[in-house]
Each structure stands twice: as C-alpha cells, then as structure tokens.
Structure 1
Amino acid sequence: MSTLSAQDENSAVPTGGIRGHARTEAEHAVEAALDAVIEWQGRQVAYSPVHGGLQNENWRLEVEGEQIPFFLKIPGAGSEAFIDRKNAHVAAERAGALGISPRIVHFDADTGIEIIEFLEGYRACTNGDMKQPEITSEIIGLYRAFGSIEPLPSTKTVLDMIDEHLVQTAELGITLPRFWSELMREQHSAQQALLAGGIDLAPCHNDPMPGNFLISDGKPMRLVDFEFSSNNERAYELAVMTTEFFYDDHRLAECVEQFYGAVCAQALARVQVCGFLADVKWGLWGIVNAKLNSGWDFDYHKYGVWKLHRAQSRLRDPRWGSWIGTL
C-alpha cells in the first residue's frame, strides 16, 4: 500500500531525531538505512516520521549539503510475502524516467529500503479528491503513460494474484467466509472467460490507493508506490481504480472512453468483470495480511471480508451473465 500517503503540509518540517542520536527501535532502523548510503556518510541528517502508510515506516530526511529533502521508506515486516522488490524498483525507475514519479536516490534490493525525492509542496490525494473529474482524468493519464513503458520484469495478472493468495490461505490455515464457495465458482467462470477472450498484457501500477497520487496546485500529478506493479490485464488497472472509488455507471463509461479512446460493450464488460476480480484479490490479500502480522494498526481481516462481500454483491447485478458472455 501507500508509501507517500502522508506527504502533506503537516509533515513539512522535521521534528524527529538527528543522525547519531537514535533512541527508539524505529530510529535505529532509520540510521541503519542511512549508513548504507555511501555518498551521505559523515553528513548530518535530520529525520522525522511521515505518518499514514499502512505497512511501511516512512520518514522525511534533511541532509546536510543537499538542497531538497528526501523520503525514506522502510518496508514493514511480512510485506515481502506480496512484493517483488526488484520489479518495483524497475517500475519506479521507468516511471521516474517518464517524469511521472519522483527520482530514486537509493535502493537496497535485499531489504526493499528506498530513498526518493520528497516532492515539496505536494500532498497526497484523499477519497474526496477522487470525486473530482479532473483528478480522475489525471490519474487515467498517468496510467496510460505508465502502460506505455516496456514490459516489467514481473508478469502477474489478477488471476495469478488470486491464485497466490489462495495458496497463502492454505499454507496459513485460514478459514475463508462461508460464502466463499459462490465467489470461487464465479471467479472460475470469470477466469475462463477472460482467458478465452485473451489477456491484454500491459505494465500496470495495480494499487490506486488515494495516497499514491500526489498533487500540487499548478503542477502535474505524480504517481508513487510501485510495490504491486506488474504486467497485468490492462483493464484491471482501470477496474481496480473505478471499483475502489465507487464510480457509478456514468463515471465508469467516461473513464473507459478516456482510457481506451472509445466506449464499447466489450471494454465495459472487461472492466466490470475485472472489478469483481479486484475485490476478490484484495479481499484475500486483507485476510492473509491479518494472519501474517497482528501488529499493524489496521483491521485487515475486516477490510478483507468487506471486499469479498462487495465482490459478492456484484454477482447480484442482472448484467453479470452478459458481462461474462461479452468477454
């Protein structure tokens, strides 16, 4: 989930520690990360927490001799079960080269620790921002740009993601909700139809949490946090966004038109079915996360079950059968 989700005005001035004076476990982790940055050795560094990330520890850095602040991300325990760090780094580098994401300063492939530019004057989007058509339009523009880069090292479709989470639930001994049998049956039907229609692979960001979109008046939106990126079914990129923000049919059609260049029955059906698959994927993800680490300050199990219930509700739409048939 989001790494820069609280890059806002309240976190503008460091109030935390200074390198060499760590007191807490978290501060010691920051200083250990700083020790790995060779070009900053011997320099004074002030660091302060940036609040809002669900899984990662995030920090703002002020480095002696540098004109801009930086953003440090330390991955949370257990997050490696879902994330290909090297693939995420490649995705971030390519997005940075396009000018749609901040520049990467340091990356450790073994730990996933990353330092990037802190975008001064930017703030993370909120759920309220997502109701604004101009914000939606900018997001789709970023997704179209990111989808144009060369293929990423990792190919993982939403179907692969669901299969991965099901393996994890079995390995962890997780009991899924009683209504899972219905979801599993319809998920299989959706999978067969999508495969029969052909997977349209493209680089996808895959994580439209509002905090992953940074905005500033008069400046272009920036996209961050590529931990879940992969080559995926192109429609999933739009589907997970429109599902996440509860867009109605009218807004969905507008998004499909901008994303694909035109509205057609097949594109709409593909996005609708991928929206169902998105809720199944993130529902399973939440339930698995709850089992992996109970220390996170977020009710992942409740989140996951709610997502699965929402996937079930889509099956009640009288158009569900026609969407499957149109793929």
Structure 2
Amino acid sequence: MIDAARDARERLDRAVSDQFGEVVWSPTLETIASPSWVGADSLFFEGSAPDGEPLLARVLQPAAMIRVDTAAMFTAMTAAASAGLAPRLLFHDAAAGVCVQERLGEEWHVGTLYRFHVDPAAWRASLEVRRRFRELAVDLPVVNVFDQVAALRDHVEKHAIEVPSPVDELVGLVQEARGIVSPGLDPVPCHGDAASSNVMMRDGDVRLVGWTQAACMDPLEEIGSILTEFAPMIASPQEAFAAAWGRHDPVALARAQLFGLADDVRWGLIGSIARATEPDSPVEYQRYGHWRLFKARFAVASGESERWMREAS
C-alpha cells in the first residue's frame, strides 16, 4: 500500500533538491471533496525560503497525473502570474507533477459559493480575471471537453472501473451535444475550471489557482463550466452568462449550457477514476463525482438538455 503523503513528500524532495534543498516543508491545506473539490488534485506543503519568502509546494496526486497536461498547466500558470492573475510560479517540474509558488498571506481567502452569494462583486471579479486570461497570448494545446469525456470513458473501460449505471447514456448525450456545438468558436487560452475554490480573494483583488484544465478551447466551454458552478445558486443562467460573456445571446447561452453538461459528466468520470486510483485516500472523490453526475442527470430528466439542444442549433 502506498502512503500518499509520504510518496508526495519524496517526489517533492527529489524535484526541488537543487533549488529548495534547504527548505523545511510541512503539510498544509487539507483536501476536501465532499462534495467540493477543494485541493483534491494535489497535496500541498508550506515552507520558507532562506530569505524568508513564504513558499507553497504542490504535488499532483496520482489520479491527477493520469489526466492533467502538466506542461500546459505550468505554462498557463507562468503566463497568468506574469500578468498579475495568479500567484508567482517559482519552480516547476512537469514530469514530476511538482511546482513551488509564492504562498499568499492570511489575508487571502479561498473562494466559496457562500462568499460569492453574500458578495456579488466577488463572483463578478472572478469572471473578470478569467476574461483577462482569455485575452493573453499563451501557447497552449487545443482541447475540448468532448474528447476528454471519451478518453475518460475509455480509461474506465480499460481498467474495469465501476461507474454509476447512467454514465453510458450521459456519455452518449455528450457526444450528441458535440455535433450541435461543433465546430464552435476559435479556441483561446482558458483557465477552464470554474470551481469556486480556484479563486483566491483579498479586498476585491483576485488570483486564479488550480489550472489543471488550462488549455486553448472554445471560450463557451469555459463559460459552460461557469454556468454549472454558479447557476442557479449564485445567479440565474441568463445573468451568469451575460456577466461572463459580456452580453445576452440565447444561442450562445444554450451552447454554453451544453458544454456545462459535458463538464458535469467529465467530473463525474474523474471522481470515479480518482477513487479507483487512490482507494485508500480519505478524500471522498466518488461522492463528488456522483454529485456532478446527478446534476447532469437532472438536466436530462427535467428536459433542460433537450431544450438546450434545440436552442443551440
């Protein structure tokens, strides 16, 4: 049995030995995935550089290494940091899945749906920082959620991973949606994952963290991720879309909602894969995955997905 924390620490020590060999690292940021995904892709360690600068080391979990393009992730983080949109990246090793960033101070807070609910300016600021990243010239691979869903489904089948029975129906629906939204808009650099916890906030200032989905994609794919995170708890789909997109557009809204449906299915599969890959983890990956699949199933059962397909055509 692999001790995940010990394995992560050993990977960290090997990766940073030359540049940060004198740093004493301590585990920090407990992961929570019930049903959120706060920090669940990685284990985190804090330390201080010889000059006193606070550091945060991140080591991707084995399940994340299966699916994350770490080279693209670190490229995006570097570009975003240079633009003042993310914490500074001080070291990265794509093969090891390890990076070291500046550690933000205690005055910074993790984004949550509750914080966005009580402070509408905060969630709108999170949309603005995403928009600013989409305007950067960053050389990232072009991806789409439909290919990712298909690849994750293939991984599930190849490794005989147990998934809820409606998955095949939902995967089929996702591929049907693909035919409706394709070819889509020209791909642009996107953060790609609108989970509230991927935002750090301080007095109106915002930084993006996470970055495991960073790539060039149809911008409506990122908007779809925003909709499935924010609507209807924070805002109606129409309000959230207009805030993220900059204008009302019923056809683009429906297309974004189909991307959001695919995003729910993707994370449902990711949850099952993570649970199978790390069966002894205390993180309840599968519960989070089931929650995302429930959202997708509700969209189907309520007739919303059928309406989105009509309106997106």
Offset of residue 287 of structure 1: 1.2
Offset of residue 286 of structure 1: 0.9
Offset of residue 141 of structure 1: 0.2
Aligned to 1:50, which of 28, 48, 59?
A: 28
Offset of residue 109 of structure 1: 2.4
Instruction: Look at both structures and tell me which one has the larger radius of gyration over its CA atoms.
Output: 1
The answer as to whether partners of 1:172 and 1:291 remain within 8 angstroms in 2 is no
Query: Is residue 103 from structure 1 mapped to residue 88 from structure 2 by the alignment?
Result: yes
Offset of residue 248 of structure 1: 5.5
- Residue of structure 2 equivalent to 1:10: none
Query: Is residue 189 from structure 1 mapped to residue 176 from structure 2 by the alignment?
Result: yes
- What code does the residue aligned with 2:198 have? N
Offset of residue 309 of structure 1: 2.3
Query: Is residue 239 from structure 1 mapped to residue 220 from structure 2 by the alignment?
Result: no
The structure-2 alpha-carbon separation of the partners of 1:317 and 1:72, relative to structure 1 and needing over 3 Å to count, comes to same
Offset of residue 252 of structure 1: 2.3
How many residue pairs get matched? 297
Aligned to 2:18, which of 36, 39, 42?
A: 36
The structure-2 alpha-carbon separation of the partners of 1:161 and 1:130, relative to structure 1 and needing over 3 Å to count, comes to farther
- Residue of structure 2 equivalent to 1:153: 140
Offset of residue 207 of structure 1: 2.0
Aligned equivalents of 2:235, 2:113: Cα separation in 1? 19
Q: Residues 172-211 of structure 1: CA distance to partner in whole angstroms, max 9, x if unpaired?
A: 1134332234323322321111115x24422221222332
- What code does the residue aligned with 2:224 have? A
- Residue of structure 1 equivalent to 2:131: 144
Aligned equivalents of 1:187, 1:77: Cα separation in 2? 26
SS of 1:94's equivalent in the other structure is helix
Aligned equivalents of 1:56, 1:266: Cα separation in 2? 37
The answer as to whether partners of 2:46 and 2:54 remain within 8 angstroms in 1 is yes
Structure 1: gaps of 5 or more residues: 1-23
The structure-2 alpha-carbon separation of the partners of 1:79 and 1:182, relative to structure 1 and needing over 3 Å to count, comes to closer
The answer as to whether partners of 2:12 and 2:98 remain within 8 angstroms in 1 is no
- What code does the residue aligned with 1:36 have? D
Give RMSD over aligned pairs.
Answer: 2.2
Aligned equivalents of 1:141, 1:35: Cα separation in 2? 37
TM-score by length of 2: 0.86
Aligned equivalents of 1:153, 1:320: Cα separation in 2? 30
The answer as to whether partners of 2:149 and 2:171 remain within 8 angstroms in 1 is no
Aligned equivalents of 1:124, 1:63: Cα separation in 2? 24
The answer as to whether partners of 1:193 and 1:325 remain within 8 angstroms in 2 is no
Aligned equivalents of 1:257, 1:26: Cα separation in 2? 41
SS of 1:315's equivalent in the other structure is helix
Aligned to 2:154, which of 167, 181, 188?
A: 167
SS of 2:14's equivalent in the other structure is helix
- Residue of structure 2 equivalent to 1:323: 308
Aligned equivalents of 1:126, 1:322: Cα separation in 2? 30
* Overall identity of the aligned pairs, in %: 22
Query: Is residue 65 from structure 1 mapped to residue 51 from structure 2 by the alignment?
Result: yes
Q: Residues 81-130 of structure 1: CA distance to partner in whole angstroms, max 9, x if unpaired?
A: 01111111110111011111111111112212111111123121223113
- Residue of structure 2 equivalent to 1:220: 205
The answer as to whether partners of 2:186 and 2:218 remain within 8 angstroms in 1 is yes
SS of 1:231's equivalent in the other structure is strand
Aligned equivalents of 2:69, 2:200: Cα separation in 1? 23
- What code does the residue aligned with 1:140 have? L
Structure 2: gaps of 5 or more residues: 1-5, 31-38
Aligned equivalents of 1:25, 1:257: Cα separation in 2? 45
Aligned to 2:113, which of 127, 138, 159?
A: 127
Aligned equivalents of 2:8, 2:169: Cα separation in 1? 43
TM-score by length of 1: 0.83
SS of 1:164's equivalent in the other structure is helix
- Residue of structure 1 equivalent to 2:253: 268
- Residue of structure 1 equivalent to 2:265: 280
Offset of residue 293 of structure 1: 1.6
